[in-house]
Structure 1
Amino acid sequence: MTSSTHLPADLTRRWHQSAEHLEARAPAGVSLHSGVGGRTLSGPVTATGGLPAWLRLMAAPRPEGKIWEGAALADTLLGEAVPRPVMLGEHAWQEEQGAFQATLWKRLRGQVLSPTPDLPDAVPVDDQWWQNLRACLEEVRATPVPPGREVMTQAYINRIPRFIPELAGEDLTVPRWETAHGDLHWANLTRDPLEVIDWEGWGAAPAGYDAAVLLAYALPAPATAAKVREVFGDVLDSGHGRLAQLVICAEIIQASERDDVHARLKPYVERLAGEVLVPQ
C-alpha cells in the first residue's frame, strides 16, 4: 500500500476536477471519504442523465500495477453473474507529484453490511442472499485470471510461521491457486440486493481464500460465522481451505500491530488457527 506521506495533499481539488471531466455533478457541500493510507478520495455525484453515481479518485506513484489496473480488468473480465457496481467512466492522468485515476461508478443499489471489515453483530440476510453469494464466488473462481495478477505470493505464504509459530518447518506449498476477490470482508458486501465492491486487488489466491476471509472477519458474530461454515463448509474443510484459513489468520495477526480492526480480530483468529491446526 502506498504511504500517505508520499501522496499530494490536495486530492479534494483533483476530485472535483475529475467530476467535471467526467461530466458528473457533486452536491453542494459534498462530504468526501478518505481511504486507508490517504491514497483515495471518494464521494457521491450525479452522472449524465441524472443517474446517481459514485466517484473515486486514487493517487499512485506511477500509472501501473495490480491496484491501478484491477477495477477496469474486473469490469471487462467478470461476467454478469458477479453482482457488482457498474463502471460508467474513467479518467487518468499524470503530474509531477504522481499519477491519478478517477473512476465513476453507478451508485450502489444495496446497503453495505458493515462500516468496518469485521462484524459486531449477525448480518440481516436471508438464505437466498447466501445462495447468491456462493454462486457469485463460484463464478469468480471460474474466471481466468490475467497473468501476473496475484492476491499474494507463495513467498509471502512461506513466511507466515513468523505469525503462527506452530507452522515452522511445515510444507506450506499452495496445492491449488484460484481466482479470488481477495478482500472479501463485510464492508465490501451489500444486501437488498447483494453486490460485491472493491475489485482493485482481485487475482490468484490459494483455493478457498475468499471463504476463509469471509469467515475470519465474521468471527466476532458467532451466528454469521456459523452460517459461513455451513455455506462454504466443503471449501473450508478441505486441505486447501484449511491452508487458506491459516493464511488469512497470519495476515490479520500481522496487521494487528497497525490498526484497531485487526487488533480486535487477533484473539479470534489465534483461536481459529489453533482449531485448524488440530489434526483431522
Structure 2
Amino acid sequence: MTSSTHLPADLTDRWHQAAERLGASAPADTPLHSGMGGRTLSGPVVTTDGLSAWLRLMVAPKPEGKIWEGAALADALLGDAISRPVILAEHTWHEDGAAFQANLWTRLRGEILSPTPDLSAPAPVDEQWWRDIRACVDEVRTSADPSGRGVMTQAYIDRIPRFIPALEGADLTVSRWEAAHGDLHWANLTRDPLEIIDWEGWGAAPAGYDAAVLLAYALPAPDTAAKVREMFGDMLNTEHGRLAQLVICAEIIQASERDDVHARLKPHAERLADEILALQ
C-alpha cells in the first residue's frame, strides 16, 4: 500500500464536506478524533431530521482492501444479534489522488469501557454484560466470513517464533479458522448496553482468537482476566484456543516496540505465553 505520507495530512475540511454530503452537520469547532495513523477522522454530527449520529472519514490510496470494505461487509453479513452501531449512510469520492470513504453511524448507546485497548482496573460490568459478550462472540464465530477475508494469514502465524523463540520448530498450522471481530479489546467495547465497535478488520482467524484477544488485553486487571477465562474457558482451554493465545501474545510482543500500550502489555503477554507452553 502507498505510504500514508502521500495522503492528505489534514482531513478536517473533508470531514465537514462529507457531513454536508450525507445530510448532516456539526459546528466548526467540533472535537474530532484521529485514528489509524492519521488516516481516519471521526466525530459527532446531527442529521437533518435531528438524529444524533457519528461520522467517520477514512482516506486511502485506493478504494479497496480489507479495511476499506470491512465495515460495510459486517453491516451486511453479520446478524442483528451482534450488538453494534449501524451504518446509516455512506459516501465515497476521489480527490487529489486519494480515495475517501465517509460512513454515518448510529451513535453509541453505551459508555466505552477503556480509553486504551488494555485495562488498568477491573472492567465495571455486571453478569448480564458477560452473558451478552459471550453471546455476541458465539454469534460472530458461527457466521460465514467473506471468502478470502482474514484477520491474519497462516504465513504470519508461521513467523511468530521470531517473537516467542520457544516456538521455533513447532507445528503452528491452524486447523480451524472461524469468523472473528479480530480486535476485541476493551476500547472497542461499551457497557450499559454492550456494543462492539470497529469492525473494519473482521474476518477469518484461528478458532478462539476473539476470546484470546479479550483475555490478553485484560491481563493487567487479574479479576477481569479471571472472568474472561471463566466465560470463555471452553474456547481457550483447547488446542485451538491455546494457539490463538500464543498468536495474540506474539502480536503484542511485536507491537511493544511501536507504542506504549503494547510495551506495558509485553511482560503480561510473555508470562501468558510461558504458561501456555508449560502445558504443552
TM-score, structure 2 as length reference: 0.98
Residue matched to 1:155: 155
The answer to whether the aligner puts 1:45 opposite 2:35 as a matched pair is no
Superposed counterparts of 1:58-69, under 5 Å: 58-69=58-69
Q: Percent identity?
A: 77
Residue matched to 1:77: 77
Q: CA deviation at 1:2?
A: 6.9
Conserved? CA contact 1:8–1:97, under 8 Å:
no
Aligned-residue Cα RMSD (Å) equals 1.1
Cα distance between partner residues in 2 of 1:137 and 1:273: 23
Q: SS state of the match for residue 85, structure 1?
A: coil
Residue matched to 1:97: 97
Residue matched to 1:238: 238
Cα distance between partner residues in 2 of 1:265 and 1:16: 37
Residue matched to 1:167: 167
Q: CA deviation at 1:148?
A: 1.0
Q: Deviations over 1:166-185 (max 9, x none)?
A: 00000000010000000000
The answer to whether the aligner puts 1:30 opposite 2:30 as a matched pair is yes
Q: CA deviation at 1:3?
A: 4.6
Conserved? CA contact 1:44–1:54, under 8 Å:
yes
Q: Deviations over 1:113-151 (max 9, x none)?
A: 000000000011111100011011111011111111100
Instruction: Give the 3 Å change call, closer, same or farther, for CA 81–102 of structure 1 in structure 2.
Output: same
Residue matched to 2:195: 195
Q: Deviations over 1:239-276 (max 9, x none)?
A: 00000000000000000000000001000000000000
Cα distance between partner residues in 1 of 2:3 and 2:250: 22
Which AA in structure 2 matches 1:41? L
Residue matched to 1:119: 119
Instruction: Give the 3 Å change call, closer, same or farther, for CA 239–265 of structure 1 in structure 2.
Output: same
Cα distance between partner residues in 1 of 2:133 and 2:242: 20
Superposed counterparts of 1:227-266, under 5 Å: 227-266=227-266
**How many residues align structurally?**
280
Q: SS state of the match for residue 25, structure 2?
A: coil
- The worse-fitting range, judged by mean Cα deviation, of 186-195 and 88-97 is 88-97
Residue matched to 1:274: 274
Conserved? CA contact 1:2–1:37, under 8 Å:
no
Q: SS state of the match for residue 266, structure 1?
A: helix
Q: CA deviation at 1:9?
A: 1.5
Cα distance between partner residues in 2 of 1:248 and 1:279: 17
Q: Deviations over 1:197-254 (max 9, x none)?
A: 0000000000000000000000001110000000001110010000000000000000
Which AA in structure 1 matches 2:246? L
Conserved? CA contact 1:2–1:39, under 8 Å:
no
Q: Unaligned 5+ residue runs, structure 2?
A: none
Runs of 4+ in 1 over 3 A off after TM superposition: 1-4
Q: CA deviation at 1:96?
A: 3.0
Q: CA deviation at 1:48?
A: 3.0
The answer to whether the aligner puts 1:218 opposite 2:236 as a matched pair is no
Q: CA deviation at 1:4?
A: 3.5
